Chains A and B, each alone.
Chain A
Amino acid sequence: MESRVVGQPVQRKEAMAKVCGAARYVDDLQPPGVIHGATIRSAIPRGKILDIVFEPGVPWNDFVVVTSADIPGRNIVSLIHDDQPCLASQIVNHPHEPILLIAHPDEDLLRRARKLVRVQYEPLPAVFDIDSSLKQETIVWGSDNVFKRYLMAKGDVDSVWTEAAFLVEGEYSTGAQEHVYIEPNGMLATANDREGVTVWGSLQCPYYVHNALMALFGFPAEKIRVIQQETGGAFGGKEEYPSIIAAHAALLAWKSGRPVKLVYDREEDMAATTKRHPSRTRHRTAVSREGRLLAMDIEFTLDGGAYSTLSSVVLSRGTIHAPGPYRCPNVRVRSAAVATNAPPHGAFRGFGAPQSLFALELHIDKIARAVGLAPDEFRRRNFLETGDSTATGQIITQPLDLAALQERALEAAGYRAKLLQFQSDNPRSQLKKGLGFATFMHGAGFTGSGERHLQSVVELQTTADGGVRIFCSMTEMGQGTNTILTQIAAETLGLPYEKVTICQPDTALVPNSGPTVASRTSMIVGMLIERAARELKEKLRSSAGPFRVRTQYREPPGVHWDDETYRGDAYGAYSWAAYVAEVTVDIATGEVQVDRFTAVQEVGRVLNPVLASGQIEGGIVQALGFALLEKIIWRDGSMVNNQMTNYIIPTAMDVPPIQVLFEEIPYEHGAMGAKGIGELPMDGPAPAIVNAIENALGISLDSIPVTPEVILDRLRDHVRELETSPV
């Protein structure tokens, strides 16, 4: 059947509100009587709190002050484990850890008061990097500083080291990355005995916040209400941290009896909230004479910061993606997330996969050089194909032709001709050009049994004007939730796009459809919408209604996953991609310009071509920043360049023309054939760009960001090596 709505570039649902400046973000709300909140944070990385002094200079009696003693329920940020307090009471474990909350109607006075709270500490020893955490000389979390370990094994890597023609080793690292959603975090709260707690805010996961507030206040579900306002970008940065801000705003509202707004400024947002986990990956790979992978032994370590938060889950995804889209009979991934005294690192688009895939795709180029094969030829000999089993033992049942995907990307990029051209031009120029690429995948939806545990629900309801309204907890944060889910419902119901509306996520009105994370919205929740729409359409055949239908997640048949052994079907489906970067490096300044970028991907059916390519382009540019620009300067666990002035993200001048191409192979268990898309484009650009720089300069690199300083240092080392090496 010809589709009318799905696959069409229909206009974003909230486009008019956004282009007119009428969309309402949390800071745009000004309820009568609202007062402003502020957070007093730890100034040291680790220590005992000895005393809190309110120095004179403001009328302290006019202020609302909240400490951990004011918490009605449990002093935790409820997530996976309960190790993180909502407000530190005796010990602080990282810089910027919340200790105390204050509120006042006058923002200027509040700013002054913030500086007059003196917390006295007895410092304790702290650790700031993966190595010192693993040494365990100072224990800062649990008994061994380790939040989580995984062992993912297939075959027996140790059996092949002696028979391999080539053994290639490498160590790679990635830095922390700040999300830099342009709208800083913020919440507005009201709270009282009679009505309970209501928060409005910038957030991804209404039910995460709901769950955290229930534990904090000890209230039943119906006395907590969480409403998502228009959200100005999130990228994972508004996945878990908003629970803390909501908790703080709600506590101030509870104590003051007034609405409280707690909106972070940029400096506070950058310094105090989550970032992408820094990583270190070690590879040892055995390869046959013919260039076939025999064994991949991988050690993958993440710096989790001071509390466990989501690190175990980020580690899981990074671990499963670490061996990439390659066939290898023997694989071992040993991974760990360790504690340091930095603010907890958290969810960020890609969720561990960009880190482990960066290492892998640099390492694959290194192996190709060692074996003496072109990087595309080496990959072609080792790609997973339909019928192969992945490192977790998942059999690829869907049609998969990565060699064709790679070839299409290389052709579109003009790869081979340009490679020859650059090789001949480079020696005569200070501007060295290079090409690099990466081939990779991203699993959509929660890992393993995750979706089964979530048991997501959506509801559809007929409306008085002959339309249908969608009720689900999936949030719009720019990626297109409202539009895509509406398209799916409208298509299935045979209704015009305009006749289907979607309810703003509000826990008093929408069921729990799970969090808006893990590239699961289109594929998983979209499928629930499609099923609900089919059911509703059936009902509407016999009667005009009104009807309200409810659909709950059902696992596709034949899916098996073992959480203990890490074997089985890690994801319902993977999206696949081949990305090519073309760069120019100025060897006098070390500056890198990405001149052109080609992205070919297979994401199942494309539901909206404008939104889909928008996701890909935006992800690529965010990853370009990760690769080249975005360097966090740490001092004693604290980000010290916590401003847009000195933490540099790409501008319109820094980004190349991006060619986005899709292969469309419908996935039978995804909505209308769709698979996940949001995180995929974060995974491949960094290794593609760094491989291109290596190609341009003939040097090897192993960590990002590759700033001009890094390039100049490496070039100097390279010259020194050439001068000192025997002829």
Chain B
Amino acid sequence: MRCCITFTVNDQTQTVETFPMKRLLDVLREDLQLTGTKEGCGEGECGACSVIMDGLLVNSCLVPILHASGSSVRTIEGIAPPGGLHPVQRAFAACGGAQCGICTPGMILAAIHLLERTPHPTRGQIREALSGNLCRCTGYQKIIDSVEQASSHLS
């Protein structure tokens, strides 16, 4: 049975008519055409589908859309100021933090989630905060460098 779900995505109110157990990931990608959020494993292990929901970093492949009702979701499409880049995006581009790019949106959201709580993390804190997001290309070093650089540009 389909139902209507209203929630906020990147500061815009959205109402979708869909099945209550449809994954937030699929609603974002299919109903709202926000394909920047990626599916890597479908079981909450890889973090490619990470989004920030009511201030929490979640794997959107594990969130039924019913659960997102009334919530506020931020995706990779909604983090940059108009016409610009978020400092974390800029740092990933500059430091080689993105290689194949498939983990990048989720990784960037995990980094933003960390920096909003801990603006100047140690490398150890960065490793821990990103440990739910798998990357197979970079060996993580340049991702950690990227987060460090972004952190140094935060006041």
Contacts and interface: CB of A to CB of B under 8 A. Distances in A.
Interface of A: 9, 11-12, 14-25, 27-28, 30, 179-184, 230-235, 265-266, 477-480, 610-611, 613-614, 617-622, 643-645, 649-653, 655, 657-658
Given A617-B139, A651-B134, A22 B96 contact: no
Contacts of A233: 99-100, 102, 136-137
B66 interface: no
B139 A618 contact: yes
B105 A614 contact: no
A652 B89 contact: no
Contacts of B115: none
B16 interface: no
A643 B141 contact: no
Contact of A19 (B43, B89, B126, B136): B89
What are the nearest 9 A-B pairs in CB distance?
A21-B36, A478-B100, A232-B102, A18-B101, A21-B76, A617-B139, A621-B139, A478-B99, A644-B45
A618 B131 contact: no
Interface of B: 29-30, 33-43, 45-46, 48, 75-77, 80, 85, 89-90, 92-105, 108, 126-128, 130-144
Contacts of B85: 19-20
Best-buried of A180, A620, A644 by chain B (most CB within 10 Å): A644
B48 to A, nearest CB: 6
A390 B134 CA distance: 40
Given A266-B41, A658-B141, A614 B101 contact: no
A477 B100 CA distance: 5
Nearest to A233: B100
Contacts of A20: 36, 76-77, 80, 85, 89
A182 B46 contact: yes
Nearest to A266: B41
A650 B140 CA distance: 10
A565 B12 CA distance: 69
Q: SS class of chain B's interface: helix, strand, loop or mixed?
A: loop
Nearest to A184: B40
Given A233-B102, A478-B99, A614-B142, 5 more contacts: A21-B36, A25-B38, A183-B102, A479-B137, A652-B143
Contacts of A14: 101
A643 B35 contact: no
Contact of A183 (B40, B90, B139, B144): B40
A652 B131 contact: yes
Given A21-B75, A235-B136, A617-B142, A16 B100 contact: no
Given A15-B93, A657-B141, A183 B100 contact: yes
Given A182-B103, A232-B102, A12 B46 contact: no
Nearest to A14: B101
B43 A653 contact: no
Contacts of B138: 614, 617-618, 621
Contacts of B38: 25, 27, 182-183, 232
Contacts of B141: 617, 655, 657-658
Nearest to A616: B139
Contact of B98 (A19, A25, A234, A643): A19
28 contacts: A12-B98, A18-B101, A20-B77, A20-B85, A20-B89, A21-B34, A21-B77, A22-B36, A27-B35, A182-B46, A182-B103, A182-B135, A230-B101, A231-B100, A233-B137, A234-B100, A235-B136, A610-B96, A614-B138, A617-B139, A618-B138, A621-B138, A621-B139, A643-B45, A644-B46, A649-B134, A651-B131, A652-B143
Contact of A266 (B37, B43, B101, B128): B43
A618 B128 contact: no
A19 B104 contact: yes
Contacts of A658: 139, 141
A182 B48 contact: yes
Contacts of A24: 35
Given A20-B76, A611-B96, A618 B43 contact: no
A478 B135 CA distance: 11
A23 B101 contact: yes
A478 B35 contact: no
B41 A618 contact: no
Contact of A18 (B42, B43, B98, B140): B98
A266 B39 CA distance: 9
Given A610-B142, A617-B141, A652-B127, A182 B136 contact: yes
Given A21-B105, A611-B96, A618-B139, A652 B40 contact: no
B41 A643 contact: yes
Contacts of B75: 21
A5 to B, nearest CB: 17
B93 A232 contact: no
Nearest to A611: B96
B52 to A, nearest CB: 14
B127 A11 contact: no
A713 B33 CA distance: 52
A507 to B, nearest CB: 22
A19 B133 CA distance: 15
Contacts of B76: 20-21
A653 B102 CA distance: 20
Nearest to B86: A19
A513 B5 CA distance: 50
Contacts of A12: 93, 96, 98-99
Nearest to B144: A652
Contacts of B143: 652
Nearest to A478: B100
Contacts of B89: 19-20
Query: Among the interface residues A21, A235, A618, which one has the most CB atoms of the partner chain B within 10 A?
Result: A21
A613 B140 CA distance: 12
